């Protein structure tokens, strides 16, 4: 009898232990053909074609007072390592490694490597489209109740642990502090964001010798609001940036920039959604030589692939400290059983004058029109957590786009992809369509 009791207690203990563990995984593979992706295709340019993938495995241990989270991921392009070679490229890495402490039902703190994403991910986003995604080494203090969410975050980075001062040289921010406040009010959702972003910066003397190192700070603050009912959806946000900006690693300038967006969506039936909007990110004039202020807005750590066209011509590792962007767009989405189809169209203009280099001795402006892009996307839901997605995008660039990014306006610039996505325990949401599967 005693042996049976011990066995039952042991099984109960093991069951209780394992019930607090959650294993999760993710797999995504994408084949792409790129011909004029991120910039116009030059003449006699052959398209690139490749297949990349991400495989992620994570585990979470939950306790009433704390939670531990760890995930690793393997990122690779098919064939980048020979089939019989030892993999020494460091493709396997830690994606998340963090702990969260629960002080009570409303207050908690999360520290370690983690994703940070808010609202529609314009300033802070997980960048889940990119195989490597985005994560931060940071500490967060959180408050959450039925309608309020408040996050205060902090990060401080260094190359390695040293007993003496060393200048931070990783292509990353040195430090940041931010506050995000969100309020759900009926059918509305409203947010405030403040970000103080610090970048490492080298000071030079007259003979280009580094004399000192410091950190320069940019402040971003803004409001975002969204309201939706059965038929309509209204979205708007405004962000303003000020402080100092590092134009290069050795040159800074004062910063005054903004980002504005207004959008309206109409859903005549459960299947159709029409969205009309415009977004402006301010830029710096190439002909106003008297202006010493940088007016170029930087969306920093957002999932910028979701905005301004899927061909990533703007703000996806590019177009910073440039002439900005005015993007007028129309999205049409249609849902039918397990299918979602979407057509996005963009009309791009520079937000600040672009210099016409046909007149090298004069400061004349080119036409502001940069081009038009059309993105067709189709998604098929195979199961609740498995989907197949594909798309084709076409860019029609102008001479002003060529002046900014190079390439040829007469050559065909397009991009196509097909991918498989498996995300257990995750609801499928079609990108930027607002239609849930």
Q: What are phi and psi of 309, to 5 degrees?
A: 90, 140
Model pLDDT for residues 116-148, shown as the tens digit of each residue: 999 999 999 999 999 999 999 999 999 999 999
Model confidence, pTM? 0.90
pLDDT band, very low/low/confident/very high, at 89 (cuts 50, 70, 90): confident
pLDDT at 186: 93
Nearest to 53 by CA among 431, 422, 425: 422
Alpha-carbon gap, residue 226 to 223, rounded angstroms: 10
Alpha-carbon gap, residue 198 to 172, rounded angstroms: 10
Q: Could you tell me the residue ranges of all domains in the chain?
A: 23-422
Model pLDDT for residues 374-390, shown as the tens digit of each residue: 999 999 999 989 999 99
pLDDT at 241: 98
Pick the more confident residue, 25 or 361.
Answer: 25
Alpha-carbon gap, residue 324 to 305, rounded angstroms: 16
Nearest to 40 by CA among 372, 381, 427: 372
Residues near 18 by Cβ (< 8 Å), separated by ≥ 6? none
Alpha-carbon gap, residue 375 to 392, rounded angstroms: 6
Class at the top of the CATH hierarchy for domain 23-422: mainly beta
Query: How many residues can be counted in the chain?
Result: 437
pLDDT at 379: 96
pLDDT at 11: 44
pLDDT at 432: 54
Contact 323, 291 (CB under 8 A): no
Model pLDDT for residues 144-170, shown as the tens digit of each residue: 999 999 999 999 999 999 888 888 889
């Amino acid at each position: 009898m005693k042996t049976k009791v011990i066995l039952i207690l042991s099984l109960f203990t093991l069951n209780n232990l394992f019930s607090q563990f959650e294993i999760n995984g993710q797999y995504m593979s994408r084949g792409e053909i790129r011909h004029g992706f991120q910039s116009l295709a030059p003449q006699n340019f052959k398209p690139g074609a490749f297949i990349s993938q991400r495989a992620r495995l994570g585990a979470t241990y939950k306790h009433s007072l704390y939670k531990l989270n760890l995930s690793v991921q393997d990122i690779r392009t098919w064939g980048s390592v020979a089939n019989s070679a030892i993999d020494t490229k460091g493709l396997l890495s830690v994606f998340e490694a963090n702990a969260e402490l629960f002080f009570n039902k409303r207050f908690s703190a999360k520290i370690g490597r983690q994703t940070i994403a808010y609202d529609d991910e314009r300033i802070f986003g997980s960048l889940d489209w990119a195989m490597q995604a985005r994560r931060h080494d940071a500490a967060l203090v959180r408050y959450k109740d039925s309608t309020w969410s408040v996050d205060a975050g902090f990060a401080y980075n260094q190359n390695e642990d040293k007993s003496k001062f060393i200048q931070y040289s990783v292509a990353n921010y040195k430090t940041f502090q931010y506050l995000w406040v969100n309020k759900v009010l009926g059918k509305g959702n409203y947010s405030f964001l403040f970000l103080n972003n610090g970048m490492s910066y080298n000071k030079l003397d007259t003979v280009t010798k580094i004399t000192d190192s410091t950190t320069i700070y940019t402040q971003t603050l803004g409001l975002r609001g969204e309201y939706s009912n059965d038929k309509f959806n209204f979205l708007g946000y405004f962000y303003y940036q000020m402080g100092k900006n590092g134009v290069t690693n050795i040159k800074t300038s004062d910063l005054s920039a903004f980002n504005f967006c207004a959008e309206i969506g109409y859903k005549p039936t459960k299947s159709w959604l029409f969205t009309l909007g415009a977004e402006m990110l301010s830029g710096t004039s190439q002909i106003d030589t008297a202006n010493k202020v940088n007016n170029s807005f930087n969306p920093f750590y957002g999932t910028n692939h979701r905005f301004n066209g899927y061909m990533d011509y703007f703000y996806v590792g590019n177009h910073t400290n440039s002439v900005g962007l005015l993007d007028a767009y129309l999205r049409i989405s249609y849902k039918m059983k397990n299918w979602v189809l979407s057509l996005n169209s963009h009309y791009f203009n520079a937000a600040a004058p672009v210099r016409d280099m046909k007149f090298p001795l004069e400061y004349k402006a080119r036409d502001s029109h940069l081009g038009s892009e059309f993105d067709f996307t189709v998604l098929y839901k195979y199961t609740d957590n498995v989907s197949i997605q594909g798309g084709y995008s076409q860019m029609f660039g102008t001479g002003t786009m060529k002046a900014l990014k190079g390439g040829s306006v007469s050559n065909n610039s397009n991009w196509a992809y097909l991918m498989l996505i498996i995300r257990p325990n995750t609801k499928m949401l079609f990108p930027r369509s607002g239609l849930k599967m």
